[in-house]
Structure 1
Amino acid sequence: MSDLAATPTDRRRPRRRLAVLIGLLGTFLLLCCGGGTLVVLSGFAGDGDDPAVDRLAADACGQGGVVDANGKLPSVDSYGPDKIRNAAIIINVGKQMSVPPRGWIIAVATAMQESNLTNLGNLGSRNDHDSIGLFQQRPSMGWGKPEQLRDPAYTARKFYEKLLKVTGWQTRPLTDAAQRVQISAFPDAYAKHEPIATRIVNLLTNGAARAVNVGNQLRCAAAGDITASGYTRPVRANIVSGFRTSERPGHNGVDLAAARGTDIHAAANGRVLVARCDPAGDGSYSCDVDGYPGKGGCGWFVDILHAGNIITRYCHMVRRPVVKVGDLVQAGQVIGQVGTSGDSSGPHLHFEVHVNGNRGSAGAINPAPFMSERGIPLGGKA
Structure 2
Amino acid sequence: MNDEGRPRRRRIRRGAVAGATAAVLALLCCSGGTAAFFLTELGGESAEVMTPMSLTCEEDHTVDVQGDMPRLSWYGERQLRNAAVIIKVGQDMKVPPRGWVIAIATAIQESGLRNLANSTVRQSQNLPNEGVGADHDSLGLFQQRASWGSVTQRMDPAYAARKFYEKLLAVPGWQDMPLTLAAQKVQVSAFPDAYAKHEDVAGQIVDALAGGAARTVQIGRRSVCDAAADGKIAASGYTAPIPGGVGSGFRTASRPRHNGVDIAAEKGTPIRAAATGRVLVARCDPDSSGNHSCDVDGYPGKGGCGWFVDILHAGRVITRYCHMVRQPRVTPGQRVAAGEVIGEVGSSGNSSGPHLHFEVHGDADRSSRGAIDPVPFMAQRGAPLGPEE
Question: TM-score normalized by structure 2?
Answer: 0.78
1:1-382 mapped onto 2 (5 Å cutoff): 55-56=8-9, 63=56, 72-124=68-120, 127-139=134-146, 142-220=147-225, 221=227, 223-224=229-230, 225-279=232-286, 284-380=291-387
Find the aligned partners of 1:319 and 1:154 in 2 and give their Cα distance: 51
Aligned 8 A contact 1:75 1:84 in 2: no
Aligned 8 A contact 1:123 1:131 in 2: no
* Letter in structure 1 aligned against 2:362: V
Find the aligned partners of 1:372 and 1:284 in 2 and give their Cα distance: 36
RMSD over aligned Cα, in angstroms?
2.7
Q: CA deviation at 1:75?
A: 2.8
Aligned 8 A contact 1:121 1:132 in 2: yes
3-state SS, counterpart of residue 205 of structure 2: helix
Find the aligned partners of 1:227 and 1:64 in 2 and give their Cα distance: 12
Q: CA deviation at 1:69?
A: 8.9
* Letter in structure 1 aligned against 2:103: A
Q: CA deviation at 1:280?
A: 7.1
Q: CA deviation at 1:335?
A: 1.4
Aligned 8 A contact 1:236 1:379 in 2: yes
Find the aligned partners of 1:222 and 1:116 in 2 and give their Cα distance: 29
* Letter in structure 2 aligned against 1:79: Y
Instruction: Structure 1 unaligned segments of length 5 or more: list them.
Output: 1-16, 23-52
Q: CA deviation at 1:300?
A: 0.7
Find the aligned partners of 1:231 and 1:302 in 2 and give their Cα distance: 17
3-state SS, counterpart of residue 241 of structure 1: coil
Residue deviations 1:256-312 (CA, integer Å, cap 9, x gap) = 111222221111122221111101788854111121222111001111122222111
Find the aligned partners of 2:312 and 2:89 in 1 and give their Cα distance: 32
Aligned 8 A contact 1:56 1:219 in 2: no
* Letter in structure 1 aligned against 2:174: W
Q: Which residue of 2 aligns with 1:28?
A: none
Q: CA deviation at 1:126?
A: 6.0
Aligned 8 A contact 1:292 1:342 in 2: yes
Find the aligned partners of 1:150 and 1:126 in 2 and give their Cα distance: 12
Q: Which residue of 2 aligns with 1:40?
A: none
Aligned 8 A contact 2:115 2:141 in 1: yes
User: Structure 1 pair 222/129, CA: closer, same or farther in 2 (3 Å)?
Assistant: closer
User: Which stretch of the first structure deviates more once superposed, 226-235 or 322-331?
Assistant: 322-331
Q: CA deviation at 1:197?
A: 0.7
Find the aligned partners of 1:318 and 1:241 in 2 and give their Cα distance: 20
Q: CA deviation at 1:214?
A: 2.6
* Letter in structure 2 aligned against 1:231: Y
Aligned 8 A contact 2:70 2:209 in 1: no
Find the aligned partners of 2:199 and 2:241 in 1 and give their Cα distance: 20
3-state SS, counterpart of residue 274 of structure 1: strand
Identity within the alignment, %: 62
Find the aligned partners of 1:73 and 1:132 in 2 and give their Cα distance: 24
Find the aligned partners of 2:228 and 2:117 in 1 and give their Cα distance: 44
* Letter in structure 2 aligned against 1:180: K
User: Structure 1 pair 226/357, CA: closer, same or farther in 2 (3 Å)?
Assistant: same
3-state SS, counterpart of residue 164 of structure 2: helix
Aligned 8 A contact 1:63 1:373 in 2: no
3-state SS, counterpart of residue 239 of structure 1: coil
Question: TM-score normalized by structure 1?
Answer: 0.80
Q: Which residue of 1 aligns with 2:35?
A: none
Q: CA deviation at 1:18?
A: 11
Find the aligned partners of 2:94 and 2:64 in 1 and give their Cα distance: 24
* Letter in structure 2 aligned against 1:255: D
Instruction: Structure 2 unaligned segments of length 5 or more: list them.
Output: 14-54, 121-131
